[in-house]
Homo-oligomer: A and B are copies of this chain.
């Protein structure tokens, strides 16, 4: 090991020990700072087979206080994991505030392993890398520190390492067939790996390459990288926390045409009680068959209900569920997040609730709270709700890609109709619990909601998860419309 001019010359072992002692101090301090902060670390380990990822990790774990660290090593997906979108298994393993999640296997593992077996279709690879970029961007945006370590080894060095391991009876078992194959195709594989690294090296999610020829310098560099990345991150978020908190701002439309669409809706639709009953039976039947068909095809369905207070979400949900077997659906009422949920990205609580294949989940309010109440009340920073549109589209695209059928409703009533319903709730004993001060306060924000809803409709009306606008002044019409659109959406999705 070379020394800089002026440095005292110590035997290498002493130098190493001194450096380790220093690093351990810094790691302890890092963990204390982390616990006191509203941030977490996602540490991703990847690299060349044989570079000693596992052994570097074991060393690191010896230096850290292991109590707030979690190692995530996902093997073959479990059946519960296979029945959800690809990223579900990683979402469920994300660390909460104050903690470190070390992904020994990560969203890179499969991509890199598959490449050993044969070159991947380029457009498929580019899709995967786009997904990864989005996900890491989402983590970084929500103040998660993403540290990505690439353990590097040249082909020659890899060869030496494998020979070494095989020569020792105690370690020979660690050399797998896959590693031998990896060595054989190293050049081709390394080219793709380089491409992957370049395509996923982004602000907030940079790769750090750690040379892995010698284990001690490798371990030092590994830990040192974590410490440096954390310091930079900690300075940044500490500054951000000192900046003034977001204040409720005047709500200005991003996409006025969305609000226009809402205003043009004909809210007072007529429907006689007799016609309603006939048509209801017809659509209940169709919906029942559609849901059973989806279950038989192992497709999950997610219904999302949004609408003003008293727009009739509860009643519509009740009619919808009357077409289904109680064993097949779950209703998820969405209120304020609990403290575990608050320690995660706002989408985490919804990832948690994704139905298994063949099941139905009904969200009574949803992730759209981010761009509605949170935007209007200033519960989140403007940059947070602004980027939520893209995050939500990405989330719903992942659902659709997995095969989940997403049916979204916005139930719209007029301001006058809401007043009538509020009054009726106040006067009916068993409805009084459904109305409180918050409802009246929200009502005071009517124009702001029109704008926010308009933006939501314009910015998240995707082909894979379009909005269904329901005119809801007439309860019969609205409930029937919900049923009809449910059956049609599911049937359309099943035909694709």
**Interface residue ranges, A against B (CB under 8 Å):** 25, 28-29, 32, 54, 57-58, 60-62, 65-71, 73, 78-80, 102, 104, 314, 317-318, 321-322, 325-331, 333, 338-340, 364, 430, 433
Set of chain B residues within 8 Å of A32, measured between Cβ atoms: 430, 433
Contact A102 B326 (CB under 8 A): yes
- Contacts A54-B327, A62-B322, A327-B54: A333 and B67 contacting too (C-beta < 8 A)? yes
Interface contact B433-A104, CB-CB below 8 Å: no
Residues of chain B within 8 A (CB-CB) of A73 are: 327-328
Contacts of A80 in B (CB 8 A): 78-80
In the complex, how many angstroms separate the beta carbon of A291 from the nearest chain B beta carbon?
13
Tell me the bound Cα distance from A322 to B58 in angstroms: 7
A327 touches which one: B104, B318, B327 (CB < 8 A)? B104
Contacts of A339 in B (CB 8 A): 338-340
Report chain B residues within 8 Å CB of A29.
430
Known: A318-B66, A327-B54, A339-B338. A430 touches B28 (CB 8 A): yes
A68 near B330 (CB under 8 angstroms)?
no
What are 10 A-to-B residue pairs whose CB atoms are below 8 Å? A54-B326, A65-B314, A66-B321, A67-B333, A70-B330, A71-B330, A73-B327, A78-B80, A79-B80, A102-B326
Q: From known contacts A28-B430, A32-B433, A339-B339, infer whether A326 and B104 are also in contact, taking CB-CB under 8 Å.
A: yes
B78, B104, B322: which contacts A78 (Cβ < 8 A)? B78
Chain B nearest CB from A266 CB (Å) reads 29
A60 to chain B: which residues have CB within 8 Å?
326
Given contacts A57-B327, A65-B318, A340-B340, 4 further A-B contacts (CB under 8 A): A54-B327, A58-B322, A66-B317, A73-B328
A54 touches which one: B54, B70, B325 (CB < 8 A)? B325
The smallest C-beta distance from A98 to any residue of chain B, in angstroms, reads 11
Q: Enumerate chain B residues within 8 angstroms of A78, measured Cβ to Cβ.
A: 78-80
- 5 tightest A-B CB contacts, nearest first: A73-B327, A67-B333, A61-B326, A57-B326, A28-B430
Measured in the bound complex, the distance between the Cα atoms of B331 and A78 in whole Å is 22
Whether the pair B327, A61 counts as a contact (CB closer than 8 A) is no
With A71-B326, A80-B78, A339-B338 in contact, do A331 and B28 touch (Cβ < 8 Å)?
no
In the complex, what distance in Å separates the CA atom of A413 from the CA atom of B227? 35
Contacting residues, chain B, for A57 (C-beta < 8 A): 326-327
CA distance A65 to B313 in the complex (A): 12
Query: Which of A57, A58, A78, A326 has the most B CB atoms < 10 Å from its CB?
Result: A326
Most chain B C-beta atoms within 10 Å of own C-beta, residue among A68, A78, A317: A78
Structural contact, B326 and A67, CB atoms closer than 8 A? no
Q: Is the CB of A67 within 8 A of B314?
A: yes
Question: Among B102, B322, B331, which residue has its beta carbon within 8 angstroms of that of A67?
Answer: B331
The interface residues of chain B lying within 8 Å CB-to-CB of A68 are: 333
C-alpha gap A66/B319 in the complex (Å): 11
